[in-house]
Amino acid sequence: MSAPTFKKTKVQQKINLKEEFGVDVSDRPDLAEALGQAIIDKMVTRTKASKGMQFSGNGAGREIDLSSKKYSKSYKDSREFKAFGKTNKVNLTLTGDMLGQIDITKLKGNSVTIGWDDAEENAKAHGHSTGKNGKVPKMKRPFFGVNKKELQGLKKEFKSDLNKVLKEEQTKKQKALTNNLLKALGALSDGKN
Amino acid sequence: MGKTKVTFSGLNKIRKLTKRIFDKDIFTNRLVKEVGLFSQERVKAVTRTGYGVTNSKKKKLKRLSNSYKDMRRGAVKFRTVNGAVIPFQEPDERIQEVDKKFFEPDFSNLTFSGQLLESIKYTYNRAKHIFTIQPTGKRKKLPGESKTLTNKKVAEYVAKGGRPFLGIDKKGAKTIANMIKREIRAQLRKNNLKK
Helix A29-48 to helix A159-192 angle, to the nearest 10 degrees? 160
User: How many other β-carbons are positioned within 10 Å of the β-carbon of residue B127?
Assistant: 6
For residue B175, list chain A residues with Cβ-Cβ distance below 8 A.
Answer: 95-97, 100-101
Please indicate whether, in this complex, the C-beta atoms of A82 and B191 are within 8 angstroms of each other. no
State in Å, rounded, how far the first CA of chain A is from the last one. Answer: 56
If asked whether residues A56 and A138 sit together in one domain, one would say yes
Condensed to tens digits (0 to 9), the pLDDT of residues A91-141 reads 999 999 999 999 999 999 999 999 999 999 999 999 999 887 655 556 889
Do the chains contact at B48 and A82, CB–CB below 8 Å?
yes
- Is there a single domain that holds both residue A46 and residue A129? yes
Residue B91 φ/ψ region, left for φ over 0, alpha for ψ in the -120 to 50 degree band, beta for the rest: beta
Domain region containing A30: 5-157
Please give the residue of chain A at the shortest CA–CA distance from B46: A83
B7 contact A CB<8A: no
CA dihedral of residues A146, A159, A164, A39 (deg, nearest 10): -20
pLDDT confidence band for B15 (50 / 70 / 90):
low
A45 and A131 together in one domain: yes
pLDDT of A118 reads 95
Is A92 in the same domain as A182?
A: no
Residues A61 and A114 in one domain: yes
Q: Higher pLDDT residue, A163 or B26?
A: A163
Comparing B63-72, B88-97, B98-107, B174-183, the range with the smallest average pLDDT is B88-97
Shared-domain flag, residues A57 and A13? yes
Looking at the structure, do residues A120 and A71 belong to the same domain, yes or no? yes
Closest CA to B47 of B110, B136, B135, B119: B110
Is A165 found in the same domain as A77?
Answer: no
* In chain B, domain spans: 25-61+104-141+150-190
Model confidence at A37, pLDDT cuts 50, 70, 90, reads: very high
Question: Beta strand pairing status for B120-125 and B84-88?
Answer: unpaired
By CB atoms closer than 10 A (0-12, 13-18, 19+), residue B155 is: buried
Which residues in chain B are closer than 8 Å to A76, comparing Cβ atoms? none
ipTM over 0.90: no
CA distances from A87 to A34, A83, A182, B118 (A): 32, 11, 69, 19
* A86-125 burial: b if 16+ Cβ within 10 Å, else e: beeebbbbbbbbbbbbbbbbebeebebbbbbebeebbbbb
Question: CA A5, A9, A11: angle at the middle one, nearest 5?
Answer: 30
Q: Does B2 score more than 70 pLDDT?
A: no
In a mutagenesis test of the A interface, which of B178, B187, B190 is the best target, namely the one with the most A β-carbons within 10 Å?
Answer: B178
Rounded Cα–Cα distance for residues A75 and A138 (Å): 11
Cβ–Cβ gap B193/A161 under 8 Å:
yes
* Residue B27 pLDDT exceeds 70: yes
Instruction: Report the predicted TM-score, pTM, of the whole model to 2 decimal places.
Output: 0.86
List pLDDT tens digits, range A56-80. Answer: 978 799 999 999 889 999 999 999 9
Whether A90 and A174 map to the same domain: the answer is no
* DSSP for residue B187: H
Cβ within 8 Å, pair B178-A103: yes
* pLDDT bucket at B11, cuts 50 / 70 / 90: low
Kindly determine whether residue B174 and residue A164, on different chains, have CB atoms separated by under 8 Å: no
